[in-house]
Amino acid sequence: MKRQAVYFLSATGIFGAIAASAQATPLQDPNGIWTLQGENDAVSTLKGTSDRYYTSGLRFNWTSGTDNLPKPFHDVNKFLLGDGVQRISLGVQQLIFTPSDTQNPNPSPSDRPYSSLLLGTVNFINDTDLSRSVAGIQFGIMGPGGLGRQLQNGFHGAIGDTKNLGWHHQLANQPIFQVQMGRIWRLPLVNFHGFGADILPAISGAAGDYRTYGDVAGTFRIGEGLNSDFGNSTIGPGLDGTDAFTATTPVAWYLYGGVEGQAVAYDATLQGNTIRSNSPHVSKTWDVGEIHAGVAIMWHGVRLSYSQNWQTAQFDTAKAGLFNYGSLKLSVKF
């Protein structure tokens, strides 16, 4: 626990450095945004990756319109993130993790433990013309209360697929609380009659009893209306709160590719329950890399995006090669 306290304090210091202000005012938008996102390793470019490691993610989220926060929330947003156009984001997400051999009723102690998380998220969002800053919390439960077994085996039963057999060895129930913060910068490169290119560097991190890490990322985009948003995001670690968009052309779209590097200090889904010495666990790797490639389109208040994501090993005894999953996200304004 002392080690986690050190991680928490160190991350808090980094987060304070992230929250430097940037002066510019983007477009106002009074509409709220509802988002549904799903991720699954069954949607993969690689063979043999289905139902192992990060096997499923689901997220439902609401993002407010601009600059209509109650004064206490407005003041907290400004204190944490500086001047800019403000939003707040509220959501719930579920993540499911399994070992590579899901038909073994007694999973190997050298494989990733079964686990699932059910989390609520509250994020403050602060935009300028060339940056988006996010600060917030996640809270919920890891373990049987995350309902991973019910969702995964219930879905497999509904489609006539084989149920996974080792869920009775999943990690025990544990409350989760995280703080998270980050910033994306939008750096235009080319703009030729509406068609352009830009780069989105980003830095983020989180600290808590789920996952403590720092993250640096960079994304290259080409398309039209690139100033409509700040890129795409996955459900897992990395900068959250990027559902907000305001299309600046009748049809805004882009193709993108990016890389991401994470320094991981702690991961409960790998290292086991925090206060249980006999919890299933494996040795995490401290450095994790990801490659992202995808497409996004915005039209009449609807934003649809899809990405393929390739990830390096998260623990020492993981199977060799990259792990791959697909991510589909739909956002609609009301």
pLDDT at 49: 57
SS3 annotation, 179-213: EEEEEEECEEEEEECCEEEEEEEEEEEEEECCEEE
Q: Which domain holds residue 24?
A: 2-333
Distance, in Å, from the CA atom of 282 to the CA atom of 111, rounded to the nearest integer, reads 7
Please count the structural domains in the chain.
Answer: 1
pLDDT 10s digit of each residue in the chain, 334 long? 444 444 444 444 444 444 444 445 667 889 999 999 999 988 766 665 567 899 999 999 999 999 889 999 999 999 999 999 999 999 999 999 999 999 999 999 999 999 999 999 999 999 999 999 999 999 999 999 999 999 898 888 888 888 899 999 999 999 999 999 999 999 999 998 889 999 999 999 999 999 999 999 999 999 999 999 999 999 977 777 789 999 999 999 999 999 999 999 999 999 999 887 788 999 999 999 999 999 999 999 999 999 999 999 999 999 878 999 999 999 999 8
| SS3 category, 78 | helix
Find where tokens 């009301």 sit: 334
User: Which pLDDT tens digit goes with each residue over 45-88?
Assistant: 666 556 789 999 999 999 999 988 999 999 999 999 999 999 99
User: Which pLDDT tens digit goes with each residue over 208-250?
Assistant: 999 999 999 999 999 999 999 999 999 977 777 789 999 999 9
Cα torsion for 313, 142, 139, 52, to the nearest 10°? 30
Q: CB of 166 within 8 A of CB of 148? A: no
pTM attached to this predicted model:
0.88
CATH value at residue 174: 2.40.128.140
C-alpha to C-alpha distances, 134 to 75, 128, 130, 206, 250, nearest whole angstrom:
15, 12, 14, 11, 27
265-268 contacts, C-beta under 8 A, 24 or more apart:
265/7, 265/212, 265/213, 266/3, 266/4, 266/7, 266/209, 266/211, 266/212, 266/213, 267/210, 267/211, 267/212, 267/213, 267/314, 268/115, 268/142, 268/171, 268/174, 268/176, 268/209, 268/210, 268/211
DSSP 315: B
